[in-house]
Amino acid sequence: MSATVNNDFDFLRSGRRRKKKAAAMTNKEKARERREKRMQEISLLRTIPYSDHQRWWSSENVVAVVTGSNRGIGLEIARQLASHGLTLVLTARNVDAGLEAVTSLSLQQGLKVDFHQLDVTDASSIKEFGCWIQQTFGGLDILVNNAGVNYNLGSDNSVEFAETVVSTNYHGTKNMIKAMIPLMRPSPQGARIVNVSSRLGRVYGRRNRLANVELRDQLSNPDSLTEELLDRTVSTFIEQVKDGTWESGGWPQTFTDYSISKLAVNAYTRMMAKELSTRQEGEKIYVNSFCPGWVKTAMTGFAGNMSPEDAADTGVWLSLVLSEEAVTGRFFAERREINF
């Protein structure tokens, strides 16, 4: 084959690559434009006050608890809920950090906020918190499970702290739900559990999913989804981290430990929603999870593309939506349902 023909082929291949690259850039630009437009819509929705018909809550009859709410998304969820006029309980592992957050909300913004120390990885701390919430308020109506950790930034994918990540994000959320359900007060509007999760934990995510097809099917099938399956899945991952075989285990490739923990949170959300769905009217508990997006907080090294105000919105919306509009066992982002 002559050099001229080879050059022609190279030119054609180069042209196709340029077209593909241009198309990819166009798709990214379109996706960014769609996201920015949706964020503008969300910002506008937040400015629209709830009508008297929509406001089923008050500071006298609704108590909301937000875990890990001394900073970041949790603090913003707490701020927005408190600004809507219900009783808000802010929690944090560190007492000083929690009290500083309360001071910021109460003195600087004029909001009424209560505080209690809570470490969701400590069974005794959860128990003590439950006793306090029962004695102080007679229970709670809204639980936002926000407490969570992630030790990777950018392209990092270390599993050095995998046990802490799974213990906090999955087991902490699960143990809080188990402890708080008996304390959730009967209401015509139903109680709410909102779990802060992530798209990285989707079972059938296109770029970041489990390689094991059978396990994916089990986790996505309500009939085969059990707590035992979830615990076994995360335990297998931790065991492989300890023996150094996790990279060949078929786990998600991005922020692996965080993704596994949020996959378990999403699945547990669906499982609990099904378990609680048989409750009678007046004793309903709606359980949902949502992805706040890539947010400008300490967890992302402040490199995110969403403000905490926009990121918190869906969690607040799920907490306050009217019972006739409420759903359960679903996954949301930007006030829209997305696939698990």
Instruction: Indicate which residues carry an active-site annotation.
Output: 258
Cα separation, 168 vs 126, whole angstroms: 13
Cα separation, 12 vs 249, whole angstroms: 40
Specify the length of the chain in residues. 340
Q: What does R_g of the chain's alpha carbons equal in angstroms? A: 22
Do 71 and 337 touch, CB atoms closer than 8 A?
no
| Burial class of residue 186, CB neighbours in 10 A (0-12, 13-18, 19+) | middle
| Of the candidates 49, 101, 44, the residue with the CA atom closest to the CA atom of residue 70 | 101
Cα separation, 145 vs 64, whole angstroms: 11
Cα separation, 131 vs 178, whole angstroms: 14
Name residues whose C-beta falls within 8 Å of residue 187's C-beta, 6 or more positions apart in sequence. 141, 282
Do 285 and 238 touch, CB atoms closer than 8 A?
no
Q: What is the DSSP string of 172-236?
A: IHHHHHHHHGGGBPP-TT-EEEEEE--GGG-TT-SSS--S-HHHHHHHH-TTT--HHHHHHHHHH
Dihedral angle sign, alpha carbons of residues 310, 339, 218, 180: positive
DSSP classification of residue 170: I
SS (H, E, C) 9-67: HHHHHHHHHHHHHHHHHHHHHHHHHHHHHHHHHHHHHHHCCCCCCCCCCCCCCCEEEEC
Do 286 and 322 touch, CB atoms closer than 8 A?
no
